[in-house]
Amino acid sequence: MKNYYLNSSERGIKKVNNLLLYDQPETVYGQLLLNQTNPTSKNKKQFKEIQPLKLLDAPNVTQNSEYQLLDWSSQEIIFLGLKENLFARNFKTGITQLLTQLEDGILTSLCSQGELIVYSTSNGDLIVIDSDQKQLLQSYQLNDITRMICFNDCILCCATVNNGILYIDLRQNKYIYRIGTMVDIYSVSLNDNILAAGSPNKVCIYDIRKPQILIAQYNQDGRALTWDKRKQNYLCAGGLDQTITIWNTEGEYNPHRLSVDYAITQIVSTNTQLLYCAGNKCYNSNIIMNRHQDKVLRIATSTDQTQLCSLGADELLIFWSLVN
């Protein structure tokens, strides 16, 4: 077993004595074929189960699946929030470092873009840091809990519990205002300048250049939300209704629906496939990733879209291969 401890002399980061992450030997499991009903066919959909590439310990993970505590950056850094600690793991080298440790509160969401990492806390703070230099760039007091953050260049869109959608232009530092009238937002997803925001009973779409104007609204469970990278203007939504709904937002509302066995906690789209997690499993159209002993909280994919990592309530961070 290989242990990773924080080097207290490295770049002025505070020393911690507890174990951060450790590699665990891969365990061999039997191959299974699982059946799942496809609502568009009377036949049952067969998924092939694959084995994990690596299992890492993620101790003290927040059990709330509403929080966005995992991200895989374009620089192949996996950012992971574990209660008051924000970790960065280099996927290529396997080295894990502690980026920051909160003195009060816990992390509720995080999102990266290039060298920037943005995270929010249960105290209502929103912090922007340079993950490479480990330098604080900006901080905001939102006075609300942020569940999810998405980026578009210098624009931040935050899904908050009580204040709806908050729009922040990092170039204007403290220039913050609210988009729309939605409250209790669970998810946000950007497609260029088009923002989709989801709540338990509706999905709203805005143009962030004219943020007060509502473009469209759908009666959907939008706890899990993503734009489909395989088809332009297609949006995917899911939640406690155990259904993934996919529709063309610029055409007539004629959705495709996929039923699953558990509530959808997250949906991720790559250029070739749609990935989602429900219960303690992750899926795409052909394979099932079944290793977690408790619900999957978050998933993220590598830049080349060949790897996936899943964070579970069982305090495991598991890596999977999406190719042969």
**Cβ atoms of residues 170 and 158 within 8 Å:** no
CA 212 vs CA 9, 19, 181, 207: distances in Å: 48, 46, 9, 8
What pLDDT is stored for residue 143 in this prediction? Answer: 86
pLDDT band at 229 (very low <50, low <70, confident <90, very high): very high
Facing residues of 35 across strands? 46
Burial-class residue 5 by CB neighbours within 10 Å (0-12, 13-18, 19+): middle
Facing residues of 216 across strands? 205
CA–CA gap between residue 46 and residue 38 (Å, rounded): 10
pLDDT, tens digit, 9 for 90 and up, residues 48-62: 999 999 999 999 999
What pLDDT is stored for residue 155 in this prediction? Answer: 85
Name the nearest CA neighbour of 112 among 161, 173, 70.
70
**Cβ atoms of residues 280 and 292 within 8 Å:** yes
Q: Name residues whose C-beta falls within 8 Å of residue 240's C-beta, 6 or more positions apart in sequence.
A: 200, 221, 223, 263, 264
- Taking the CB of residue 75, how many other CB atoms lie within 10 A of it? 15
CA–CA gap between residue 16 and residue 7 (Å, rounded): 9
Q: Name residues whose C-beta falls within 8 Å of residue 92's C-beta, 6 or more positions apart in sequence.
A: 76
pLDDT, tens digit, 9 for 90 and up, residues 98-123: 999 999 999 999 999 988 999 999 99
Residue 38, token pair as written in the block: 């496809």
CA–CA gap between residue 258 and residue 58 (Å, rounded): 31
pLDDT, tens digit, 9 for 90 and up, residues 157-184: 999 988 888 888 888 765 567 877 777 8
Q: Per-residue pLDDT for 28 more than 80?
A: no
Residue 233, token pair as written in the block: 């203007």
- Phi/psi at 134 (nearest 5 deg)? 55, 50
- Taking the CB of residue 25, how many other CB atoms lie within 10 A of it? 8
Name the nearest CA neighbour of 303 among 276, 270, 273, 272.
270
- The verdict on pTM exceeding 0.85 is no
**Cβ atoms of residues 227 and 234 within 8 Å:** yes
Comparing 222 with 3, the larger pLDDT belongs to: 222
CA–CA gap between residue 223 and residue 260 (Å, rounded): 15
In this structure, which amino acid lies at residue 90? N
pLDDT, tens digit, 9 for 90 and up, residues 179-214: 777 778 999 999 988 999 999 999 999 988 887 788
pLDDT band at 18 (very low <50, low <70, confident <90, very high): very low
> Could you report how far apart the first and last alpha carbons of the chain are, in Å?
27
What pLDDT is stored for residue 21 in this prediction? Answer: 30
Burial-class residue 2 by CB neighbours within 10 Å (0-12, 13-18, 19+): exposed
